Amino acid sequence: MGRFHKHPDGTEHEHHGADNQGHLEDQVGAGGHEDQVGAGDHGDMSGYQTGPERVVVLERIFGENDRLAAANRSTFDAAGVTAINMMSSPGAGKTAILRQTLACLPDTTRVAIIEGDIETSLDADRLAGYGAQIALLNTANGFGGECHLDAPMVASALPRLDLATVDLLFIENVGNLVCPAEFDVGAHHRVMVYSITEGEEKPLKYPVMFRSVELVLVNKLDLLPHLDFDLPLFLRNLASINPAATVLQVSARSTEGLDLWYDWLAEVGQR
């Protein structure tokens, strides 16, 4: 196990139930992890109005998602693909980091990207021209405009990729600090990008997301001199929520720190 290969130890998730018909408002515990750790755990349901029918519906939704996620992972394993689920708020820099990554990874690493957005091909277009296979997933196109990717959506994109010629698959999730954390899409690793323009307190306010990832890329570090952002306080808040997470301070703009990200990718790609 490499030095970057760490797994989150917080395995209990509260799921905001959601399906293609829209959101179910109450939070209900359900399993579902990128890694197999804790899959099937059920969160604390106390304090929520959870009638038996609602529980049955949500367990069915997450059960189906988790089965398809496992099938996606088996597909990746069979093809020798390492899949990474990239999550963040909108605008934190997932696409910018992926763009730098495509430009800097050695040619021997063959990359594919599933680009998740509610609408538009704007980000997929930014990633074109670097030799990576790209499959665009607009959730407004047949998936109810969902605010996250789930395992069935990712499965629907796989026929558009030639996984036999791929080493590394990035699944760029829809920009959202809540819902994407709750759906296992079948990736092997979960990574989040955090922009220092988002403030110090977000790990405390959105713990499910911060707890669900094994690596946090703290991005836009070049802006630090211009902000009131308290970096040590943010790092303490993050550590209080997910002490096991690997944290890399980077700037997609200046490329500062990205070498450590590439090292991490090289380690997780050796399977």
- Which of 7-15, 95-103, 134-142, 212-220 is the region at the interface with Mg ion (rule: CB under 5 A)? 95-103
Q: Which of 94, 188, 189, 202 binds Mg ion (CB under 5 A)?
A: 94
Residue 22: CB atoms within 10 Å: 10
**Smallest distance from the beta carbon of 95 to Mg ion, in angstroms?**
3
Q: Which of 159, 155, 205 is nearest to 183 (CA)?
A: 155
For position 184 contacting Mg ion by CB under 5 A, the verdict is no
DSSP labels, 187-212: -SEEEEEEEGGG-S-HHHHSHHHHHH
Name the closest residue to Mg ion (Cβ): 95
Nearer to Mg ion, 175 or 207 (CB): 175
**Smallest distance from the beta carbon of 170 to Mg ion, in angstroms?**
11
Residue 127: CB atoms within 10 Å: 21
**Smallest distance from the beta carbon of 156 to Mg ion, in angstroms?**
19
Nearer to Mg ion, 17 or 93 (CB): 93
Residues 121 to 150 in contact with Mg ion, rule: CB under 5 A:
123
Nearer to Mg ion, 74 or 141 (CB): 141
**Smallest distance from the beta carbon of 82 to Mg ion, in angstroms?**
20
Q: Which of 64, 161, 179 is nearest to 115 (CA)?
A: 161
Nearer to Mg ion, 4 or 261 (CB): 261
Nearer to Mg ion, 5 or 99 (CB): 99
Q: Tokens standing for 133?
A: 């296979």
- Which of 7-15, 118-126, 132-140, 200-208 is the region at the interface with Mg ion (rule: CB under 5 A)? 118-126
Nearest-10 crossing angle of helices 258-268, 94-104? 70
Rounded to whole angstroms, how far apart are CA atoms 199 and 242?
17
Nearer to Mg ion, 237 or 251 (CB): 251
**24: helix, strand or coil:** strand
| Under 8 Å between Cβ of 198 and 218 | no
For position 95 contacting Mg ion by CB under 5 A, the verdict is yes
Q: Which residues contact 179 (CB under 8 A, 6 or more apart)?
A: 16, 18, 146, 147, 148
**Smallest distance from the beta carbon of 94 to Mg ion, in angstroms?**
5
Rounded to whole angstroms, how far apart are CA atoms 162 and 32?
26
Identify the residue whose tokens are 């009638």: 51
**Smallest distance from the beta carbon of 122 to Mg ion, in angstroms?**
8
For position 85 contacting Mg ion by CB under 5 A, the verdict is no
Judged by CB under 5 A, how many residues of this single chain contact Mg ion?
Answer: 3
**Smallest distance from the beta carbon of 172 to Mg ion, in angstroms?**
6
Residues 49 to 68 in contact with Mg ion, rule: CB under 5 A:
none
Q: Which residues contact 35 (CB under 8 A, 6 or more apart)?
A: 7, 188, 189, 190, 214
Residues contributing to the site for Mg ion (CB under 5 A)? 94-95, 123
